[in-house]
Structures are given as structure tokens and as C-alpha cells.
Amino acid sequence: MEYNILIVDDEEAILKLLPLFLAMNKKHTFTVHTATNGKVGVETYNKLVNKGKKPDLVLMDLRMPVMDGVEATMRIMYNDPEANIYLFTAYAKTEVEKEAYDAGAQGTINKSADWTKTVEEIVNVLES
């Protein structure tokens, strides 16, 4: 299966490493788009939708400069109530995570040092 993913995160290592680990998955093919903050993430999401390449999954960091993940989630969900946004954060079980759920996020994938486990979680979300 082929999936279109948007990663919205201000950590350069995440934006470089996660696509590499996704590419190692033998079962699926991933086209990965990235954004370095929430504002760019909202703009990128809208551009992809307008090109007919709506992301199957948005991985949204919560704490970023310019626009945080809660605001970005709210804006994407306002424009596309069917968006599939999962928080990608180390701030699980916090008030800000609850705010992102209230804004429309469907779940959380915790940032982990175990990239293989992270890719498995992403695949499970996409397959469900």
C-alpha cells in the first residue's frame, strides 16, 4: 500500500530520520512531506489537498515555534474535518495533549528512541 504522510515538527532530526525509517518498511511505500512549524504545516496540508494529494496521516508535534500543534490541528480540522491527525510528541498525558484532542486530533504516537517501534505504530494507525 502507498501512503502520503505529513510530518509537522521543529526537530530537524525527526524530519530527516523518520522518513528514512519509514522507507525501510517492506510492506508499504511512503511519500513523506515535512513542515518545520504549525503554520507551514497548515499551508503544506492545504497545498497537498489542492493538488489531490491529501495526507493519509498528519504527525503533529505539539510544541513548535510560530504556531503550536494545537492551533495547527484546529486550523486543519476547520478546513478538513476528515483530516487524520495524530500527535507526535513527548508531551503525552498533558493538558496540551488534551487541548489537541479537543481540537480534533485522533490519537497520540509517542516520540521514542526506538524508531522501529515508531514505524510500527504509524503503520498500525494507517492500517486501522
pLDDT at 102 (0 to 100): 87
Give residue 25's domain range.
2-127
Residue 110, helix vs strand vs coil: strand
pLDDT at 92 (0 to 100): 66
Residue 34, helix vs strand vs coil: strand
Q: What is the CATH number of the domain that holds 79?
A: 3.40.50.2300
pLDDT at 103 (0 to 100): 87
- Comparison of pLDDT for 98 and 68, the residue scoring more: 68
pLDDT tier at 91, thresholds 50, 70, 90: low
Domains: count for the chain: 1
Query: Is 22 within 8 Å of 56 (Cβ atoms)?
Result: no
Ordered alpha helix ranges (H), the chain: 12-23, 38-50, 69-79, 95-103, 115-127
pLDDT at 30 (0 to 100): 96
